[in-house]
Structure 1
Amino acid sequence: MSALTTEPNFLMFPFGQTGQHLRLRGGLHLTDRHDFGVFCDDNKDWRIERSAHGELIIEMPTKGFTGTLNAYLGFQLFGWALQDGTGIAFDSSAGFELPNGAMRSPDAAWVRKSQLAALNDAQKQEFLPLVPEVIFELRSSSDRLAVLEAKMIEWQSVGVRLGVLLDPLERQVQIYRLGQTPQLLSNLTTLDCSPELPGFLLDSQAIFDAGL
């Protein structure tokens, strides 16, 4: 992919056939935490992650009903978190710096307030250098299931206590708990997220039906 020079300190990369572009300032090293943050700030319209091997994973804005499904998921998690009061819920715009060097942005996440209290003010303004206790990933029509499953294994390997992969295409839910074998559930109406999220019953059917 060739680079087109547009400004003295910027390179612009055509991305696919959409007419949209990525901007990369000359001299940035994207394995560096600060530089990677600058790159993400310069390309706010894209969802950008970094793998443990330093590879960039770039996604377009969500298509079709995926944004609606994300909203249904976030609405439920945020509502429970406000009532519970022991942690903070995050949407897909939040990035987490993981111990393996990856920077990941799950579709939704929950972090204990005690984890956040250990961070200083500067750290709270950057990608959060911590592992969420609970994460949710939502499969879209363009997502390969095997790629998402590998991502869930990564979440599990860095210490996420509960990972939930929602697959509206197959109406299935995969559960990843720390130290346990993944569990596949089909035609589920509600998912009990206890004990990691005490009392939280995720209405998975409402999320799946939102895309109909």
Structure 2
Amino acid sequence: MQIHLPDKAPVLLSGPNLVAMTDEEFFDFCQQNADLRIERTANHEIIIMSPTGSRSGKRNSRLNGQLYMWWAQHANLGETFDSSTGFTLPDGAVLSPDASWVSAAKWNALTAEQQEIFAPVCPEFIIELKSAKDSLKVLQRKMQQWLRAGVQLAWLIVPQKETVYIYRAGQPEPEIVQGFEQELSGETVLPGFRLRLAELR
């Protein structure tokens, strides 16, 4: 089945055939619609989004570039992933953060077959980058979902207001950072990583 979106608003698809999709069928469905961004809820509803706009794509490229540069010096610690990567969470949802990192212990515990599809693993670190059309409330709920799944450190970056919400495991409320003149620390999750927010303007 191929999907065509009439506009840039996310579309929620549901129905017996979609809910009954196996993980393998859902993966194939995503490959058939590779030009779209597709996620799946824990109830197997399918969320379809159009590709990001150019400005968001530029910002996403820059933050992934900074994460990659850190990884090049710490490759033994784990693996980094871009925004086209889906992860199957313990509740059955399949989510694709804009950037993520999985520890070597978690990644190496997967089989080669699991690594080829939407790996059944929750990253320890993720970044979500808000585009102009994204709903902040929806993204904030998504961040809580990531924490419940096992993420240790998560950043929700809102370039339009130069604001970052920092979510940490075990903390009920995020820390709010204002202004892009500073850098964010990867803390103990990504030791030595610093994200230069000024590059995301």
Task: Write the distance in 2 (CA, Å) between the matches of 1:159 and 1:136.
Answer: 14
Task: Write the distance in 1 (CA, Å) between the matches of 2:148 and 2:154.
Answer: 11
Structure 1 residue ranges without an equivalent (≥5): 1-10, 19-26
The residue that corresponds to 1:24 in the other structure is none
What is the aligned-residue identity percentage? 40
Which of 179, 183, 189 is equivalent to 1:187?
Answer: 179
Instruction: Tell me how far 1:13 sits from its aligned partner.
Output: 4.7
Check conservation: 2:153, 2:189, Cα contact below 8 A.
yes
Q: 1:194 to 1:17 in 2, by over 3 A?
A: closer
Task: Kindly provide the amino acid, as one letter, of the partner of residue 157 in structure 1.
Answer: R
Q: 1:42 to 1:182 in 2, by over 3 A?
A: same
Check conservation: 2:2, 2:33, Cα contact below 8 A.
no
The residue that corresponds to 1:125 in the other structure is 116
Deviations 1:180-206 (A, max 9, x none): 121111014211111111011110121
The residue that corresponds to 1:94 in the other structure is 85
**TM-score after normalising by structure 1:** 0.85
- Residue 51 of structure 1 pairs with residue 41 of structure 2: yes
Q: Comparing both structures, which one devotes a greater share of its residues to helix?
A: 2
Task: Write the distance in 2 (CA, Å) between the matches of 1:184 and 1:17.
Answer: 32
Instruction: Tell me how far 1:175 sits from its aligned partner.
Output: 0.4
SS of alignment partner, residue 65 of structure 1: helix
Structure number, greater radius of gyration = 1
- Residue 201 of structure 1 pairs with residue 176 of structure 2: no
| CA RMSD after TM alignment | 1.6
- Residue 174 of structure 1 pairs with residue 165 of structure 2: yes
Highest RCO, 1 vs 2 (Cα 8 Å, sep ≥ 6): 2
Task: Write the distance in 2 (CA, Å) between the matches of 1:45 and 1:80.
Answer: 29
Task: Write the distance in 1 (CA, Å) between the matches of 2:152 and 2:122.
Answer: 9
